[in-house]
Amino acid sequence: MEEEISLRALIEGLLKWKWLIAIITIVAVLISGGLSFFVLAPTYEATTTLWVNLPELNIIDEAGTPLSAIVESMVQNWRMSMESYQIIIMNSVILTKVIDRLQLDPEKFDVAALQGAITVVNPRDTNLLQINVTTDDPKLAQKIANALAEEFVLHIRKENQMLLRSSAEVLMTQVVNEEQRLNTALESYEQFLSQPKGVTEIQQEIDVKTGILTDFKARLVTKRIELESNLKGLEVTQAQLEITPQKLVTSKSLVNDPFLQDVVGQRLNARPEETALLSMKSEEINSIYLDLEQKVNDFSLKVNQLNAEEIVIRQSIETIQIELESLQVVLAQKEAEQNKLLTDIDQLSGNYNLLSSKYEEARIAASLEPGDTRISIVAPAQEPINPIAPRKMLNLAIAGVLGLMLSVFLAFFLEYWRTSATIRTGLDTDKQDKPANTAMQARQEASAD
């Protein structure tokens, strides 16, 4: 209920001051219209559009050497970004040339004033630059925009050619230095190759000795197998020799040997019948024993021979291994030296090729005709017909809104002031009536008593 009464009172308060609100709003609109139509001078804007070519050059080499970064910086010093061009357009040197070229009034158009009249815009995701010039003279705006664009293009061309020539000179010096370093490295490599034992010879010698070492190791295995076989045979033969008698004893009857029987009979003056009963014992060398003994000697001799050969082979293997280790150390040193020389040659050769390539690019770019540039005017400024300011209808609308807001605020304030004064007057009247009523009540009470 209180909210309804408050809103009603608010609306009633505004209605009481409706003429004041209307008058203030109308006055604000009239003042804005008078200023927009009769006081403020119209402002015109002329626009020149430039096209900027930003080539993408692949300067970093595949190896990504530190020199590539240096060359990148030397070549890119004449390649600018769109932001850089926007700043250069506002350069005081270029603006001074425009002022002198158009013979502008120095009191009205100094460098600072001209900078305030110029805006440079780079539309998003484009290689375009828009030079906007704002003045109260449409023809002058057109002249300034076109002159500024032309002076900027000439300035960039001259600066680019100067920077390119400077870069080409620096690159040429670097090319000569790299060529000298490369020649020195090649001479060092030639001296290395002329040394008595090169990497290839040492490697071949290592291969030969490795083959010999392998052959000796194979022979050592064969000798070891043969030695074990002979030792086994010697052991078996010696065992057989131990159980074989050295001599054989034979018993023979004289009857079986008539000649011997006659000899014995004559010696003994015995008859044949008597000698027939006699027998004879004899000892003979055992041929099997002799054979076994010979085999033992042969096996022993073979074992001794194999042991001697094994010792010789082992000594040869040790000698070859020592020689191989020595050769491998020398080979490692030679290979390290050769790899370093080849790495230096490859790096210097890459640097030389890179610098030569970039020098040619810079030299060719510096020798281009002034017309072959990366900045060109694609849309010269035209004389503007319609002014961009003041925007009369917008000014009227803004003035109306501001006047309405101001008048409503004033109405609220006046209504509040009036209401506060009324309430204060009522309170003062109540304070004056209260003592009289109190005295009357006292007399009535006295009468009643």
pLDDT at residue 8 greater than cutoff 70: yes
pTM summary value: 0.49
CATH topology for 199-350 is Helix Hairpins (1.10.287)
Kindly state the helix (H) or strand (E) to which residue 437 belongs, with its residue range.
Answer: helix 392-448
User: How far apart are the C-alpha atoms of 120 and 47, rounded to whole Å?
Assistant: 10
pLDDT for the residue numbered 368: 62
pLDDT at residue 432 greater than cutoff 70: no
Could you check whether the bond before residue 390 is cis, i.e. omega within 30 degrees of 0?
Answer: yes
What would the pLDDT profile of 115-133 be if each residue is shown by its tens digit?
A: 888 999 988 888 889 999 9
Report residue 437's pLDDT band, with 50, 70 and 90 as the boundaries: low
| Lowest pLDDT segment from 87-91, 241-245, 389-393 | 389-393
pLDDT for the residue numbered 409: 86
365: exposed, middle or buried (Cβ count in 10 Å: 0-12, 13-18, 19+): buried
pLDDT for the residue numbered 403: 82
pLDDT for the residue numbered 264: 65
Average pLDDT over residues 233-253: 81
Q: Which residue has the tokens 């006659």?
A: 262
219: exposed, middle or buried (Cβ count in 10 Å: 0-12, 13-18, 19+): middle
pLDDT at residue 40 greater than cutoff 90: no
pLDDT for the residue numbered 345: 92
Tokens representing 318?
A: 């040790």
* CA angle, 258 then 264 then 267, to 5°: 145
pLDDT at residue 334 greater than cutoff 80: yes
pLDDT at residue 39 greater than cutoff 70: no
pLDDT for the residue numbered 343: 92
pLDDT for the residue numbered 388: 76
Whether 117 and 144 have beta carbons less than 8 Å apart is answered as yes
pLDDT for the residue numbered 413: 82
Tokens representing 96?
A: 């001074």
SS in 3 state form for 248-301? EEEEEEHHHCHHHHHHHHHHHCCCHHHHHCCEEEEEEECHHHHHHHHHHHHHHH
Cβ neighbours of residue 201 closer than 8 Å, sequence gap 6 or more: none
Average pLDDT over residues 425-435: 55
Task: Decide if domain 38-191+353-392 falls under CATH 3.30.1890.
Answer: yes
pLDDT at residue 430 greater than cutoff 70: no
Kindly state the helix (H) or strand (E) to which residue 95 belongs, with its residue range.
Answer: helix 92-102
Mean pLDDT of the chain: 79
The boundaries of every CATH 1.10.287 domain in the chain are: 199-350
Q: Which residue has the tokens 């000697």?
A: 297
pLDDT at residue 64 greater than cutoff 70: no
The boundaries of every CATH 3.30.1890 domain in the chain are: 38-191+353-392
Q: CA 398: distance to chain centroid?
A: 56
pLDDT for the residue numbered 73: 52
Average pLDDT over residues 360-385: 74
